[in-house]
Amino acid sequence: MKIITAMIQPFMLNKVTSALKALADFPGMTVTEARGFGRRRSLQEQQALHLDEFKNKTRLEIVTPDEQAQQIVETLVRAAHTGKSGDGKVFVWPVETAVRIQTGEQDQAAL
């Protein structure tokens, strides 16, 4: 299993969601609001950064079987791309275990 975490522009959420839902057997996702900044600031600007200067982002988290991860990442990147600074980032890493609280199912069965 893999977990895919993406930080995207908030206005791209509907487009990204539609593209992901169109994938066969898409496992679903969690969406949260986030705030942050990238490295495109000088050191002096970073040190003077105030909370109100953080940019709004939308964070997506998707846990998926290994064989679906690449397709999901490619779809997400294609749908979220505007070509402008701040489009976001995608991270993928392994999931050691998953448990469905309601049934106690574990790992692949918990997805």
Question: In the chain, where are the structural domains located?
Answer: 2-110
Average pLDDT, integer, range 27-34: 96
What global pTM score does this model have? 0.84
Read off the pLDDT of residues 71-109 as tens digits, 9 standing for 90 and up.
Answer: 999 999 999 999 988 899 999 999 999 999 999 999 988
What is the phi-psi region of residue 86: left when phi exceeds 0, alpha when psi lies from -120 to 50, beta otherwise?
left
Pick the CATH number of 2-110 from 3.10.180.10, 3.60.15.10, 1.10.3720.10, 3.30.70.120: 3.30.70.120
Residue 51 burial by CB count (10 A; 0-12/13-18/19+): exposed, middle or buried? exposed
Share of the chain above pLDDT 90, in %: 73
Instruction: Reply yes or no on whether the pLDDT at 45 is more than 90.
Output: no
According to DSSP H, which parts of 1-111 are helical?
13-21, 43-47, 66-80
